Structure 1
């Protein structure tokens, strides 16, 4: 059975660990304390004694898919799969303002380079998805390079792999279908993945009038999903910024009645005070943060308990290192962290790698289905089997992108 808000947080706190210099989860945390946690080093590359000088960083495109290839001066190579649904629009920022900053630099300094990149040529003025999706694509490739040189999975560069088998929740991407149609879709998703948890969409997405995508859809769907899948299925629901606080609380009360696990982004993502009012009024844990681009706003959310579960998106927020800082701050406050999964590239695999090494994951991690990019791994099927994705244990991301797919890709330039 799912836990209410207070019990959920208490269970996470009891399951957590306390590291030197970090407050125990049951103690209040201050902004200053969270700052110290965020500033603590994340990247661990002590095994690499010699500089890893980056010789080139290229953006490649094969059809609708974007890859990043980074090489050091000795020819070692790292590769990442970018968030292609956004790179299609933002690739000039990557080519002109992100990639050049890395060339000639020591990849072992990646953590400092991210700050230098943020300041470089006033890049901070582009803060938001447009910048951070590009930064994440670059960071992923450099992490893959460092992992391959060190002979370690990226989780071991980020504090150490804690778990390899990641239980997933299957997320529906549909809004506006009838409740009956959504039930059939959810049944299909469970059959495909064996998932023991589900998430579906509520509300009308970024509405100003609280209107549903179809009249009464959410109020019908919340009990219907529970009745269909029974008490053993863990259920989450995502409002995608649909409601004002009053309506959000009303919907949340219905979710509590039917024993839902968490309630994602009930109010406008940038209306933090409204979100806090909803979280304070409900027992069900409130999750948020997928649209967040600022470490300081995450810090505010954690220090002020505006949400119960922090949810950075590894692409939208700028990569693993920045997201790891959010997870650590949340852990110090006795709060769990779960990555939001971007809907393109290898988002499910990125999320699984992140959860493999954070101290405070929720029981299930988002999974929206396998990508169509041709990849393989010697240590994982890269599929959800029995509701579980096994994290590759090979160096870097532990995957091989089909060499033919890479050869067919063209280098992206801007005019």
Structure 2
């Protein structure tokens, strides 16, 4: 029995204990009246993540640079003793957000000791009322800086990013092939999904259902109900299958579609209702036995605490860019572990997002069995001595070198110019 099937069975047992599904805002009100004990989650949130044991001297930030070449953004951090780290941002988002990095984040960290990174995360959040920008606007620029900081600290210590987060549990990661063919018929979609899966030899796949935040509209009409059985029939019983609605449904419709997935033995159902419909997410989770996944769009640690504490999600999916970095995301993974849940992070955007995701997953003991793969960015010239950075029979080797574990071509870096705002 594969791990996804075990999660399904565990969820079914929990659903049986949970009683009848609650409806709409009544679910939120009722849950507030009988909040479970979340003290274990609060203890996790107060426990440090970052491994600073090898740093016996201050690591003082001398400079932070945001560099741009076309639509590619690099962050370069240097310390007063000459150490350097570099990161590649979520370029699709940073083209809109770079002024926040330059004006709000960059100045705050100059002169700070990077060993105190976790406390600095809390301080910069409230500094100059930055908390008012909580969401992608603030968290993506901050994650961009954190990844450069982790690269710097890794190069200083000889540790990989994963080792800076804790013990490496997964040096190799099995991938699922992500597909998005909304707008095409079920028949067209299934052929394209199969082509993608065969290229990577993945043992798991995920495809899109519904119309994306569409209030129950399908795209095109009737596609989802045809495609759900087609995918199982095409790939057989051994394939692990995930489906993502991107918040397409009301709770009632999400439950109806979820029951169809249960008929065809799907392994998780992602974001069945809009991500910030918290009581409706709880309602769907209680009505179905298929595990509910979510968290890609969630910006709030407090809301993750609620979703995990109330079992509204069974698989948590923080996006390490959208949620502000690996440190914050690891706290979510640890809360999930405390409640017997898996963490399967979402990965967004362009740049080297898949590399950051792999390092994060390598250190998550409760990582799901398969993780998202859409192929690696070939536009950024780099070398990696410890991994081919490709899917080999559905498995990717995590780079084991210091920091990010890759070397970006210095000539490519030189093409970038300093960003000011």
TM-score by length of 1: 0.93
Counterpart of 2:20 in structure 1 is: none
- The counterpart of 2:226, out of the listed 213, 217, 220, is 220
Q: How does 1:297-376 map to 2 (within 5 A)?
A: 297-372=303-378, 373-376=380-383
The one of 167, 180, 190 equivalent to 2:187 is 180
Q: Distance in 2 between matches of 1:65 and 1:184?
A: 33
Shift of 1:6: 5.5
**Residue aligning to 1:260:** 266
Q: Which runs of 5+ in 2 are unaligned?
A: 14-34
Q: Deviations over 1:164-210 (max 9, x none)?
A: 100010101332111122122212211221111100000011112x1
Query: Contact between 1:4 and 1:283, CA under 8 Å: does it hold in 2?
Result: no
Name the structure 1 match of 2:178.
171
Please say if residues 89 and 144 of structure 2, whose CA atoms lie closer than 8 Å, have aligned partners that are also in contact: yes
RMSD after superposition? 1.5
State the distance in 2 between where 1:158 and 1:34 align: 18
CA distance in 1, matches of 2:10, 2:384: 35
Q: How does 1:37-186 map to 2 (within 5 A)?
A: 37-186=44-193
C-alpha deviations, 1:59-108, integer Å up to 9, x for none? 11122211111011122110111111000001100011011111111111
Partner residue, 1:246: 252
Aligned to 1:19: none
- 1:276 alignment partner in structure 2: 282
Cα pair distance change 1:273/1:10, threshold 3 Å: closer
Q: Is residue 12–residue 290 contact of structure 2 (8 Å, CA) maintained in 1? A: no
Distance 2:363 2:280 in 1: 32
Q: Deviations over 1:290-318 (max 9, x none)?
A: 00000000000011111111110000000
Distance in 2 (alpha carbons) for counterparts of 1:385 and 1:66: 29
> Which of residues 384, 389, 396 in structure 1 aligns to 2:403?
396
> Is the 8 Å Cα contact of residues 85 and 148 (structure 2) preserved in structure 1?
yes
Residues 245 and 275 of structure 1 are in contact (CA less than 8 Å); yes or no, is this contact kept in structure 2? yes
Query: Retained in 2: the 8 A contact 1:376–1:382?
Result: no
Q: Deviations over 1:215-266 (max 9, x none)?
A: 1100011111111111111110100000001110111111111111100000
Equivalent residue in structure 2 for 1:383, among 374, 390, 399: 390
Equivalent pair of 1:343/1:368 in contact (CA under 8 Å): no
Does the CA contact (< 8 Å) of 2:93 and 2:349 recur in 1?
Answer: no
Measured at CA, do residues 8 and 189 of structure 1 come closer, stay the same or move farther in structure 2, by a change above 3 Å? farther
- Partner residue of 1:25? none
CA distance in 2, matches of 1:172, 1:351: 18
Deviation at 1:286, TM superposition (A): 0.5
Question: Secondary structure, in 3 states, of the residue corresponding to 1:348?
Answer: helix
Which secondary structure state, in structure 2, belongs to the residue aligned with residue 169 of structure 1? strand
Q: Distance in 2 between matches of 1:245 and 1:119?
A: 35
Detail structure 1 runs of 4+ shifted over 4 Å in the superposition. Answer: 8-11
1:17 corresponds in structure 2 to: none
Describe the shift of the 1:411–1:10 C-alpha distance in structure 2 as closer, same or farther (beyond 3 A). Answer: farther
Secondary structure of 1:56's aligned partner = strand
Q: Are 2:8 and 2:289, in contact at CA under 8 Å, matched by a contact in 1?
A: yes
* 1:375 Cα offset (Å): 2.1
**What is the deviation of 1:30?**
2.1
Structure 2 distance, partners of 1:260, 1:41, is 36
Q: State the Cα distance separating 1:9 from its structure 2 match.
A: 5.4
- Contact 1:9 1:335 (C-alpha < 8 Å) held by counterparts: no
Secondary structure of the residue aligned to 1:300 is helix
> Kindly tell me: are residues 6 and 389 of structure 1, through their superposed partners in 2, closer, same or farther at Cα, counting changes over 3 Å?
closer
Partner residue of 2:295? Answer: 289
Counterpart-to-counterpart distance in 1, 2:327 and 2:227: 37
SS at match of 1:66: strand
Q: Is the 8 A contact 1:4 1:284 kept in 2?
A: no
